[in-house]
Amino acid sequence: MSSTDPLADLRRATVVAVLRAPSAAAALGATEALLAGGVRGIEITYSTPDAAEVIAELRRRHGNEVYLGAGTVLTSAHARESVDAGAQFLVSPGTRPELAAAMLGTGVTVLSGALTPSEVMVAVDAGVHVVKLFPASLGGPAFLRSLRGPFPDVPFVPTGGVNADNLAEWLAAGAVAVGAGSELCSSAAMAAGDWETITATARQFSAAVRAARGPAA
C-alpha cells in the first residue's frame, strides 16, 4: 500500500477490470492490452485457469505498475495463495463471515459482495473494507444512490453493467471505484486474442474517468 488508507490504490485505479479469461495466456495478453489503454486495476478471477500463477507472473512483469487482485475468491486457500502470489486485494462475489475473516487475515484490501440492505449489513459486520455491489446491473446507479442513504459511510464498488458511458454516473452516485467485466474485456475478445479491441475499450474507460474526475485522474 502506498498510503495508510486501505482504499487509496483502489481509488487511484478507479476502474478494476474483472478478467474471466479462458486461459492463463489469455489473461496475460488481456492485461497487457488493458495497461496499454490506461486501465491498471486488474482482478484475476478464480474462474481463470492457474489464477495464482497468472497473478505471480503479472507481479513479476509489472511490479507496482499494476493494481492487482484476485476475484471469485471462494475459499481461504484461494485467499492465501493469491496474496502469496502478489495480490493486493481480494474479491468475493458474496459474503460469508468465515471467508471474510480469512480474507482479512491476509492483510490486504477486501471487497465482499452484497446486493440487498441486509447483505450490506452482513458485509459491514464482517469488517470488510469495501462492499462489492453485485450484480449492480439489476438496480443501476439509482439503486446505489438509494443504498448510500442508510449506508453513507460504506465504500461501494459496483460491478456488472458498468461501461464507459455510465461510469461517471456510478461515480456521481457514490462509488469509490467500479468493476468492469465483459463490458471492458469480453471473453470473445480474449479467446480471439483481439488485443486491439481491448486496448481501445480500455482507452474509452480511461477517458471517462478523466472526464469525471479531472485530468489528474
Cβ atoms < 10 Å from Cβ of 149: 8
Say if residue 136's pLDDT is above 70.
Answer: yes
Give me the number of domains the chain comprises. 1
**Mean pLDDT (the chain, rounded):** 96
What is the tens place of the pLDDT at every residue in 139-161?
A: 999 999 999 999 999 999 999 99
Range of the domain at 102: 8-212
In a domain, 217, yes or no: no
In a domain, 85, yes or no: yes
In a domain, 3, yes or no: no
Cβ atoms < 10 Å from Cβ of 125: 11
Which domain CATH number covers 27? 3.20.20.70
C-alpha to C-alpha distance for 12 and 17, rounded to whole angstroms: 14
Catalytic residues: 43, 132
Please compute Rg for the chain using Cα positions: 16
C-alpha to C-alpha distance for 194 and 216, rounded to whole angstroms: 29
In a domain, 21, yes or no: yes
| pLDDT the model gives residue 217 | 59
In a domain, 16, yes or no: yes
What is the tens place of the pLDDT at every residue in 76-91?
A: 999 999 999 999 999 9
